[in-house]
Amino acid sequence: MKGFWPVYKKELYATFASPIFYAVAFIFLVVTGIFFYLILDYFNHLSFELAQNPMFARQVNVMEIALRSFFLNLSFILLFLAPLITMRLYAEERRSGTIELLFTYPISDSAAVAGKFAASATAYLLLLVGTMPGIITFALIASPAWKPIVAGYLGTFMIGCSFISLGLFTSSLTQNQIISAFAAFGMLLILWFIGETATLLGPGLGSVAEYLSVTRHFDAFAKGVLDSRDLIYYLLFVTLFLFLTHRQMNSYRWRG
Amino acid sequence: MIEAEGLTKFYGPIAAIKDVSFQVKKGEIVGFLGPNGAGKSTTIRILTCYMPPTSGTARVDGLDCMERSLEIRKKIGYLPENVPLYRDSTVRRFLRFAASAKGISGGKIEKEVRRVVGMCGLEKEVNRIISHLSKGYRQRVGLAQALISDPPVLVLDEPTIGLDPTQIIEIRHLVQELGHNRTILLSSHILPEVAQICGRVLIISKGEIVATDSPKNLTSQLQKTTRIMLEVSSPAIEIAPAIEKIRGVQRVEADAEGSGKFIIEADPSSDVRPDIARMVVEKGAGLLELRAVQLSLEEIFMQLVTREEIAEKAPSLEETSHVEVAE
């Protein structure tokens, strides 16, 4: 992994130097803030209603409903924003020709891929930290269980990392940032909704579709459950796309 | 130091270079010359480990570019064509990245950056954003990044393209200075530049090396005729037919009608100048100037790179006579 740190630092700097990141952060934080408010509002109503109906209240976990929809909303917004963070990564290097520097400095290809991925993941982590004040305020007032919140954030981070790895891959395919972003949107949307087709596809293919869906693996996290199958799914997802990016850059080298 | 052996590179079905072989010895400054699209950049990109060749081997300092890529990349300072730079970054930040990417450890980075900034005269621009710099300064930043970590081999792809004459001279001086203790391969399509800086020239055309020698030897080898410039004060007197009769003279051409200037091409085996002088004086034409003209590197270059083309084209072309003379 020779050259990981220089690439990581360079990319992190480039991310924070570009106005795109601030636009993304602004939209992300405003929209998640609105969602958070709406969910809290809904949570209030629900709690109030359930307080009057104690029999029903025992079957419903209010926390679960509120947090689950909060984290799912968060990752859905991310589906649109992650490609905007990643579209620059390789596309811009290819367009401006700086890829020639990257390829002729003593940096291994895998270090470059890993450095770029890690820098975007770090930027994304900062976005997630930005959503925490709301949750912390909520926790201070409502004293919820901490475990589902931690698991929820971990799940959201994992799903975000898989979006970033896919975005990195589409960025390596083209020298046009917009094409890279749209390709990532398209692929992510398919992976997001593929789970919904499960009922149409019947039991055999349906379970495959469900296993491939990024959202199905997210559910357990949002409920506060850490399932190794889900963790492995996201780790494999990231590994696969980092590997594909590496192969793609290798083939780009050969084609010249 | 640099060895290329039978390098061939295909882009799809098109061969950019075919069986290119050459060597650059330690401490040499070699010019890599060719028209646009001849395969200069392709060859350079293979040597700098940017891309692998379709076949053949490239070695730098005895190491194979395919197998020991990372080690070689440490030894080469490379200025790519069109000088790609991270334009949103400041000069300092970019050079710091280059230094850390080239494996310079944390504490020494600043010192190294200061060294190359000093060498390239970038002291005042060091905190500016690269995209705000003029082309000449960007070129210097490109050169500065190539010099980081003091590599023993420098590969410069068209280092002076798009610069104004003063800047070209500056870069040329810098390259000459750097050449004292380094191996330099420099590509260009500008001949005088190469002739001045380089001890040896490789001429590439259509993906093949067509000549390799010192600029001086190339000139003398290819000069199959001696060219003589003659100027007389009274052009009214007919002297051309008389000159043509002198033994050894092959062709006489008036430079411009009635100007009194003539270009004479003669057999190089014997010097015809005394005979011409005597003849002009005898005719009373008033001898002003008589000198042998060296074939310029440009002309040699043209002969080398156009040779095949002309052979392929119809023989009625004007250049044909030129080439026939040359061969």
Verify that B118 and B240 share a domain, yes or no: no
Mean pLDDT of A231-237: 93
Verify that B156 and B288 share a domain, yes or no: no
Q: Does residue B310 fall inside a structural domain?
A: no
Quote the pLDDT of residue B297: 64
CB contact under 8 A, A106 and B98: no
Verify that B228 and B209 share a domain, yes or no: no
Question: Among the listed ranges A38-42, A240-244, B94-98, which one has the minimum average pLDDT value?
Answer: A38-42
pLDDT tens-digit readout, A135-170: 888 778 776 777 888 888 898 999 999 999 999 999
Verify that B288 and B187 share a domain, yes or no: no
Verify that B50 and B107 share a domain, yes or no: yes
* Nearest one of B95, B99, B104 to B127, comparing CA atoms: B95
Verify that B180 and B236 share a domain, yes or no: no
Q: From residue B172, how far is each of B40, B169, B181 by CA, in Å?
A: 19, 5, 16
Quote the pLDDT of residue A135: 82
Contact of A10 with chain B, judged by CB distance below 8 Å, is answered with yes
Q: Looking at the predicted structure, is the pLDDT value of residue A17 above 60? A: yes
Q: Does residue B28 fall inside a structural domain?
A: yes
Reduced to 3 states (helix: H, G, I; strand: E, B; else coil), residue B79 is strand
Verify that B119 and B14 share a domain, yes or no: yes
Domain extent, residue B257, equals 224-293
Verify that B122 and B151 share a domain, yes or no: yes
ipTM, two decimals: 0.87
Verify that B199 and B237 share a domain, yes or no: no
Q: Does residue B324 fall inside a structural domain?
A: no
Confidence label for A63 from pLDDT (cuts 50, 70 and 90)? low
Q: What is the pLDDT along chain B (327 residues), one digit of tens a residue?
A: 889 998 999 988 888 999 999 999 988 899 888 888 888 889 999 999 999 999 999 999 888 888 888 889 999 999 998 899 998 899 999 999 999 999 898 889 999 999 999 988 889 999 999 999 988 889 889 999 999 999 999 999 988 877 788 888 888 888 888 888 899 998 887 777 777 788 888 888 888 888 888 877 776 666 666 778 888 887 777 777 888 888 888 888 877 767 778 888 887 777 788 888 888 888 888 888 888 776 666 677 776 766 655 544 444 333 333 333 333
Q: Does residue B281 fall inside a structural domain?
A: yes
Verify that B193 and B283 share a domain, yes or no: no
Sign of CA dihedral B156, B157, B160, B162: negative
Q: Does residue B133 fall inside a structural domain?
A: yes
Quote the pLDDT of residue B294: 66
Quote the pLDDT of residue A199: 77
Task: Give chain A positions within 8 Å (CB) of B148.
Answer: none
CB contact under 8 A, A105 and B98: yes
How far apart, in whole angstroms, are the C-alpha atoms of residue B75 and residue B61? 8
Domain extent, residue A149, equals 4-255
CATH number, position B252: 3.30.70.100
Please tell me the pTM assigned to this model. 0.82
Q: Does residue B305 fall inside a structural domain?
A: no
Q: A63: alpha, beta or left, given left = phi > 0 and alpha = psi -120 to 50? A: alpha
Q: Is residue B64 within 8 Å of residue B141, measured between CB atoms?
A: no
Quote the pLDDT of residue B260: 78
Q: Does residue B287 fall inside a structural domain?
A: yes
CB contact under 8 A, B82 and A97: yes
Number of helices followed by number of strands (H, E) in chain B: 12, 14
Give the total number of structural domains in chain A: 1
* Nearest one of A224, A256, A68, A56 to A150, comparing CA atoms: A224
Quote the pLDDT of residue B254: 79
Q: Looking at the predicted structure, is the pLDDT value of residue A239 above 60? A: yes
CB contact under 8 A, B100 and A9: yes
Verify that B260 and B158 share a domain, yes or no: no
CB contact under 8 A, A105 and B101: yes
Verify that B123 and B236 share a domain, yes or no: no
Sequence-ordered alpha helix ranges (H) in chain A: 4-17, 19-51, 54-57, 62-86, 88-96, 99-104, 109-130, 132-142, 146-173, 177-193, 198-212, 216-223, 228-255
Quote the pLDDT of residue B208: 87
How far apart, in whole angstroms, are the C-alpha atoms of residue B204 and residue B152? 25
Indicate the residue type of B245: K
Question: What residue in A sits closest to B11 (Cα-Cα)?
Answer: A255
Give the total number of structural domains in chain B: 2
Contact of A137 with chain B, judged by CB distance below 8 Å, is answered with no
* Nearest one of B275, B274, B254 to B264, comparing CA atoms: B254
Confidence label for A82 from pLDDT (cuts 50, 70 and 90)? very high
Nearest-10 crossing angle of helices A132-142, A109-130? 40
Of A5, A6, A103, Cβ closest to residue B50: A103
Contact of A228 with chain B, judged by CB distance below 8 Å, is answered with no
Q: Does residue B177 fall inside a structural domain?
A: yes
CB contact under 8 A, B51 and A253: yes
Quote the pLDDT of residue A7: 95
Quote the pLDDT of residue B318: 39
Q: From residue B209, how far is each of A130, B62, B193, B265, B322 by CA, in Å?
A: 60, 22, 19, 29, 22
